[in-house]
Chains A and B, each alone.
With several copies, the nearest count.
Chain A
């Protein structure tokens, strides 16, 4: 449940909510992987498994009027933001009931009602757009925040640099969320950045910046709440680096030659769902029965999403050229 508070209230209900959202992403994507091997889903499919705490934690701090710009690895963000699982699944099936009418696929989820501005498959390409959304908010004196997600690989791109500078220079309400999973495809961070502390880079734009453990959903949520509260108060941007790890391949084609199994196992050992569950059980904030119920709810939701996608229809080929431009111009 979205709350406007700058503090995390870790009551039972909220713990359940955090866990529920993380498990939703996990199970949904496990299903996606399965459907990909069945060739129900095609194109590129980038899984977020292992990184769930980031989207779940950050999204807690956002209100419905805030905007989101994400990357091609955005199922998690869309799900937590409230884009219906069925419409996401249908999108990946290429059905017109999909959240982008089947035009976008996995990499291009859009949802105007949730101010979900995609789904951008050009690394760094969403950052100037997020900056512009925030510019509109600033110029129209709307107290909204634009959350912009991107990987640490994007930090080397010129568009990162230009966007960071513009947002800081013009004091625009952007929450930059760097999902630092240590690899850009097969390129390890130390092979792509002379300065591997990404939040230090951000600080060089005179932007408030902070790095958090992206495997800890509570820590992420707390930082995001601080950040969003600061943005709402000052109007200035904030940079949050979430240190995380991708458990799966970059996309479905990746043989993962660039990292060894032991490293992956080390990280999965401290996976966000595992850790949070252990802590919450220990702290008595949730019980096994809660988890079982969540898993049941999620299984139903995922099955429902698949059924929805399967039942969906294909847009008529005659409509191919629709929406290249407006149907009617003034």
Chain B
């Protein structure tokens, strides 16, 4: 076991992938000389040189598309889009190329690219820098969407993502980079299944990524009130681990979903839909969700806090569902 931060885990995973496979390289804005905007890639330029730790111009569509092309050309690129806020500029390449080329070419070509980006609010960065778009991206067929919520997942998801013959998007919540944990290293995780992070019997809390910590904290508070909450970390937002979702709801018969996306059209809606379609008869109460308020995320601390899911909000939603 090794104590490391989420940031170190991502960096360690990149290093190991680059050491073990010469086809792997990292490209994105400021991954090299700056050391990564979140210091994730600090030191890697010195170790691997500017060809493989490749600083790009500010050209999200261009370099994401170049990553797609390089993947088709036999490399295993890790494209870093600084934050998901800027990924909108690359969406054409992601949806119209990365996600479609295998199907559209009748299976002749595949796109083994990994696209990493930071996501989430909570740092007073305002409306253009606080999006949580991972759940929204999970709408697109042809890509896999990962949301590591723990240090172990941050370190362990990259290798299987690089092994995946198809495009994988990894959303790293920027608030997690400083989290530390004692983890097995080298980390080895799967990228297919959700994980129960806490067992419980009264209610299921389904969440992922940046909201996992808040949800576990809410579960602690609920425990103090005598409510036993199970916490399911989705880990993979596309394809959803429907079995795990249905299994936890079957156990507890009640469910609250926590998700930092704007509420309407968030992935929490999709999870509700799956439960209703296949687990309707398990339910003893309506489902509920705790999402971001439907506003551009404001700068002022108190307003931003009010806009994002909170521990109190989760606890209250659970109480409401449980009728307490």
Contacts and interface: CB of A to CB of B under 8 A. Distances in A.
Given A320-B293, A324-B141, A137 B73 contact: yes
A157 B29 CA distance: 12
A156 interface: yes
A161 B61 CA distance: 10
Contacts of A112: 105, 108-109
B243 interface: no
B33 A329 contact: no
B2 interface: no
B320 interface: no
B55 A324 contact: no
B97 A125 contact: yes
Contact of B105 (A103, A159, A169, A321): A103
In this complex, the member of A108, A110, A112, A186 whose beta carbon has the largest number of chain B beta carbons within 10 angstroms is: A108
A103 B103 contact: yes
B96 interface: yes
Contacts, number: 281
Interface stretch (A26-34, A252-260, A287-295): A252-260
Interface of B: 25, 29-30, 32-35, 37, 51-52, 55-75, 77, 85-86, 89, 92-93, 96-97, 101-110, 123-129, 141-142, 144, 160, 163-166, 293-296, 298-303, 306-307
A132 B71 contact: yes
A186 B108 CA distance: 34
Given A187-B29, A324-B294, A100 B65 contact: no
Q: In which size bucket is the chain A interface?
A: 35 or more
B184 to A, nearest CB: 20
Contact of B55 (A127, A158, A187, A315): A187
A43 B108 contact: no
Nearest to A95: B300
Q: Which 10 A/B pairs are nearest by Cβ-Cβ distance?
A: A132-B69, A128-B65, A186-B34, A136-B73, A162-B62, A101-B106, A94-B300, A105-B299, A156-B57, A110-B105
B127 A166 contact: no
A192 interface: yes
A154 interface: yes
A311 interface: no
Interface stretch (A4-12, A115-123, A264-272, A302-310): A115-123
A103 B300 contact: yes
Interface of A: 42-44, 67, 94-96, 98-105, 107-108, 110-112, 117-125, 127-137, 139-140, 153-154, 156-159, 161-163, 165-166, 169, 184-188, 191-193, 254-255, 257-258, 314-315, 317, 320-326, 329-330
Contacts of B30: 185-187
A131 B66 contact: yes
A163 B105 contact: no
Contacts of A123: 58, 86
In this complex, the member of A169, A258, A324 whose beta carbon has the largest number of chain B beta carbons within 10 angstroms is: A324
A132 B109 contact: no
B34 A159 contact: no
A188 B29 CA distance: 11
Nearest to B163: A330
Contacts of A163: 62, 65-66
A166 B56 contact: yes
A125 to B, nearest CB: 6
A102 B124 CA distance: 11
Given A94-B303, A191-B57, A192-B56, 18 more contacts: A43-B124, A95-B300, A103-B127, A104-B105, A108-B299, A118-B101, A119-B104, A119-B105, A134-B69, A134-B73, A156-B58, A159-B92, A162-B57, A165-B62, A186-B30, A255-B35, A323-B106, A330-B160
In this complex, the member of A96, A121, A128, A154 whose beta carbon has the largest number of chain B beta carbons within 10 angstroms is: A128
A139 B51 contact: yes
A193 B205 CA distance: 49
B299 A43 contact: yes
Contacts of A315: 300, 303
Nearest to A329: B164
B298 A320 contact: yes
Nearest to A105: B299
Given A131-B62, A185-B30, A323 B103 contact: yes
B104 A110 contact: yes
Contact of B92 (A122, A135, A140, A258): A122
A62 to B, nearest CB: 16
A177 B30 CA distance: 24
Contacts of B74: 136, 140
B66 A132 contact: yes
Given A105-B124, A192-B57, A258-B34, A317 B303 contact: yes
Contacts of B93: 125, 128-129
A129 B86 contact: no
Contact of A324 (B72, B103, B129, B306): B103
B11 to A, nearest CB: 15
A129 B72 contact: yes
A288 to B, nearest CB: 40
A132 B65 contact: yes
A158 B306 CA distance: 35
Nearest to A44: B125
Nearest to B27: A135
